[in-house]
Amino acid sequence: MTTKALSTTGQSPWRDELRATLLLAWPMILSNLTMMLIGVTDVILLGWLGPRALAAGALGHNLAIFCAIFCMGLVTATAPMMASEKGRMAHSVRDIRRTFRQGLWVCCTVMVPVWAFLWNAEAILIVTGQQADLAADAAVFVRAYMWSILPFLGFLVLRNFVAALEKPVWATIVACCAVLLNAVVNYGLILGNFGLPQLGLVGAGIGSTITNVAQFGVMALVVTFHPKFRRYHLFGRFWRADWRRFREIWRLGLPIGFTMGFEGGVFAIAILLMGLINEASVAAHAVAIQIASLTFMVPMGLGQAATVRVGLAYGRRDAVGITRAGWTAFVLGTGFMAVMALAIYLFPEALIGIFVTPVDAATKQVFDLAVSFLLVAAIFQIVDGAQVVGAGMLRGLHDTKVPMYFAAFGYWVVGIGVGAWLAFRAGWDGVGVWTGLAAGLALVAVLMLVRWSMRARLGLLPSEA
């Protein structure tokens, strides 16, 4: 039974929506987890080289991911656009195809300034106050890694396409294969196994680029030849412009990009603040953030599913369906994060032990700091889930600009402001930075939820709903 059928049949519309959301969300969650696992694999392998390689890789990776997250937000606009087109006209082909093509045009356009920015990573990190030798090592990683972002964005547009058709499992299968490929290639290139040269930080960047190129290529073959997708002819006449749609993606996507960039950027700034404390804090932050980010992938996937489900109802001009789709995803996301908060609070040492073994004074310091950071992360798990699902719900309504302002104020004024004050004025050091992050996430979650609750009064619903 398809998710569309599940959402329109049965005795309980809420139960049907729950099943439809889960059927759509679980492949997207797994896809998010596999993307995150690629980064986790690199962190683990770099950790085997020592705390310095781990710290340099974390600095470089966070700078590159800051740019990648902004670009991800930009192309995320294709998801609600394709979903609402599918909801408006179930057999739509041309409009969905045009949105997909212009999404790839946007990917190619935005990467030119992003590559120019990342090529100067060493100078950027030095300006932010990082140690010169650590900045130089981080830049070595970035210059190898940055080429992976374009094929990664292309894969995301392909994933948005199959998600809009409520067939996201193919993206999950490809992403799972990419995790295995990345582990094998980077195990060889970082550590010098399988007869390959030991390239360290450069090897991590090259391996990620190889993985993302392969991921995009395989997914492109799937949508080109699979019977469910090939009728769209996604790559046919790729050169044909649709400037109205191109501008619409930028109009919707830029606020999403800034919203996600504000969130990703606040964590990038956090690691820069850690660098002002000491090298051990940078390494500990890199480990703790990997664990917090892994749990975050689940509500992120539910938020993406909410965008599609709300977008489909938005295209049908179904106000009741919009309500059911939004609240169903919200309860699932916050409920999961409540369970994860309890698990992190109860077992922080076991979780940190996956990444760092305290065998000497240096690694013991990293281990203890990471445990203290993770205890704070347990507190903000719930609000982190609430804000990302809330943003996804609003995106389904094509509401992106005001949430951007929420993110800017919550993350950068409250999050960074409180975190920096606690770290350097109150003497809390790294724990203060993490406490500030928790405060910013909590404020954004409240603002997103209030706006969703007032959607009818604010005129966010389709006019004929």
Domain membership flag for residue 463: no
Domain membership flag for residue 458: no
**Using CA atoms, how far apart are residues 334 and 144, in angstroms rounded to an integer?**
37
CB atoms < 10 A from the CB of 161, how many?
A: 25
To the question of pTM greater than 0.85 for the whole model, the response is: no
Domain membership flag for residue 460: no
Domain membership flag for residue 459: no
Domain membership flag for residue 461: no
Domain membership flag for residue 354: yes
As for how many domains the chain has, the answer is 1
pLDDT in tens, the chain (465 residues): 344 444 444 468 899 999 989 988 887 787 777 767 777 777 778 877 777 787 788 788 878 888 888 898 899 889 888 888 887 776 778 888 889 999 999 999 999 999 999 999 999 988 877 788 888 888 999 999 999 999 999 999 998 898 888 788 888 889 889 888 988 998 999 888 888 888 888 888 899 899 999 999 999 999 999 888 888 888 877 888 889 999 999 998 999 888 888 877 787 788 778 878 887 888 888 788 878 888 888 999 899 899 989 988 998 899 999 999 999 999 999 999 999 999 988 988 888 888 777 777 778 888 888 888 888 888 888 899 999 999 999 999 999 999 999 999 999 999 999 999 999 999 898 889 999 999 999 999 999 999 999 999 999 988 765
Domain membership flag for residue 419: yes
Domain membership flag for residue 19: yes
- Domain boundaries, position 176: 3-453
